[in-house]
Structure 1
């Protein structure tokens, strides 16, 4: 990929959502300050990368969500000083994946080959996640034995503790409900089991726990980690819902152009608004239905209902599917909202130029899975201005 970067990719690269991890920005800032220390990857060029979570285009999320595959893409700018002017896109795990990365590391030098091997192992761990949310990335990499520099994965101590407490509280309640312990704060057995569930390292203990939940015991780590991920997304979505609501109000009421603007811009704006609203609604319905199903199954454990633990066990048996779909859907609506938020702030109360509005709406629709419109009427980002 060479030449100017299209609006969709530019907006993708500049996002701070769970879809995108911007190593480039952190690396450039550290270099400008003359700061040393460990970088995220051992291979120098990879520290200028953008990691992007995207849906495999062969599977339409609106048609077959249970078969969804989330891929991790590496965007490496040709010129790190001008990241938006073009670069190379590499898919983690693709057939030519290793040879593509070896262009950026002299593997004839043993130390550099070893660094690339470690970097590819880290990328493999991150590829197993449906989201690049900082909490998930840091947690998953550290558990895999790859502690990361906090400057690249920015989660404050307070935020980390708050999320961890939220997840552990739900773990604890479920264990109490399923095993019927007395709930005493001094219950050493309960605390030990809770720690094993959090660490996900003791295979025999996790296998026994899966059996107690009447779940398959072949790969309990992935099931329980996906459960942990669902709880995290419950927390994350709750903190972001109000900003999503504001974007939808803007889209419904304010993303317009005057009727006298020359055709076909008004028609294109209306078409894109309808497309965006429909795709946002589809993703939000999916998120709300899955989180509501989890919450209902969680509540049923304590409500004395006739179904008891069965709904929760059924939900947990499909935890990996729920984790993947929630990661994609939440990442997309969060991404769109963050881009709009930055755009709306830059307007400072002014109306955007019609061409710029078309370009923005078209790029946001692509974030939500709409195919690119090859007959787009808007100019490129390089010429469009607010």
Structure 2
């Protein structure tokens, strides 16, 4: 009987921790169900829904590390996307089924849990599977990246699914385009047309789209990018620029979190000495993981910035920037994964400490927060 109660309490703790993660929201969780309810409340029509298969709009998507070696070895990316179907109408985490989007049984699961058409000729099913693939390909589900990728693929669902205003989307797009401008001017420096400014602006837009390889061939040749790799390389570069923009904006929050970890992450109440030892070990692991993630992001972005400025500011060797472009897809995923883990752990922390100036926690919530935060930051 005691063992049963213990098992139930552990399961309940896991559900509560997952619920807190969902409540916190993050670039690791795309709560399509909640967003879909907002779209409906805003008068969204079926033609504007994200998915054609109705029940997919009531799912929750989470970026998670694969749970075992076999799945990790079979995957092309270190982090997968899990889709969660709730048993309840509220689409919460208290009861349901989940499956990774790269699972070989995904299509069968979509038919069973979401009612997706089983016909291989179904255009609606094919469209939904493409959107699932877009979600799976992203290192994080940042609204800007998701919306931009959807637009690039020709999808135009209700803007309520992306949680980014038109003004903010435009600001980020302008920021990215400014970094594209020098490479276009360098690759097409021989252009003497009277409408050169307009021509170069057109090419910058083509670089944003990343699909017109004929128009961009001089740039591809200069940067040694093959036609087969062009679209993915340009998209990854765009993603790195976006994460650099976010990194600069996040520093105050990241530093505040680091300060709390170093000065306020100690329990308010007393506990047995053995429990204190275990907690101290977890807190130490938590701090090291956070520092490791932050340092990794900083170094990768600094490597990009140095290669960019070496070529376009100092007008020196293009080799460092060419090397960056060759590994841009890997860096895009690594930076995005680490940043979203940091953001997720900070957002979770805020659900525990709130906005109070007194941010000390009692032993049990502090221990629970440490366990979940380690899991998020560790990536295992």
Query: In which range does the TM-score fall when normalised by the shorter chain?
Result: 0.7 to 0.9
Superposed CA deviations along residues 197-250 of structure 1, whole A, max 9, x for unmatched, are 012221323444211212233221001110111101111111112101101100
Counterpart position of 1:157 = 166
Shift in CA distance, 108/155, structure 1 to aligned 2, threshold 3 Å? closer
Measured in 2, the distance between the counterparts of 1:109 and 1:215 equals 39
1:332 maps to: 341
Corresponding position: 1:199 with 2:212: no
TM-score by length of 2: 0.86
Question: Aligned match of 2:239 in 220, 229, 238?
Answer: 229
2:82 aligned with 1:73: yes
SS, match of residue 64 in structure 2: strand
Kindly indicate whether the alpha-carbon contact (under 8 Å) linking 1:142 and 1:148 is maintained by their aligned counterparts in 2.
no
Contact 1:55/1:68 (CA < 8 Å) preserved in 2? Answer: no
Aligned length: 362
The residue aligned with 1:380 is none
> What are the within-5 Å matches in structure 2 for residues 166-315 of structure 1?
166-180=175-189, 187-257=197-267, 260-304=270-314, 307-315=316-324
Cα pair distance change 1:314/1:350, threshold 3 Å: closer
More helix by share: 2
Unaligned 5+ runs, structure 2: 1-7
In 2, Cα distance between the equivalents of 1:165 and 1:104? 41
Do the aligned residues in 1 keep the contact of 2:64 with 2:79 (CA within 8 Å)? Answer: yes
1:342 maps to 2:351: yes
**For the residues of structure 1 that align with 2:256 and 2:312, how far apart are their CA atoms?**
35
After superposing the two structures, state which structure 1 stretch, 254-263 or 330-339, moved more. 254-263
Q: Which SS does the other structure have where 1:242 is aligned?
A: helix
The alpha-carbon deviation at position 338 of structure 1 amounts to 1.4
* RMSD over equivalenced CA pairs, Å: 2.8
The residue that corresponds to 1:146 in the other structure is: 155
Q: Which residue of structure 1 aligns with residue 332 of structure 2?
A: 323
**Pairwise CA distance, 1:16:** 2.3
Question: By how many angstroms is 1:273 displaced?
Answer: 1.3
Structure 1 residue matching 2:110: 3-state secondary structure:
helix
Shift of 1:104: 3.0
- Give the match's secondary structure for 1:238: helix
**Structure-1-length-normalised TM-score:** 0.85
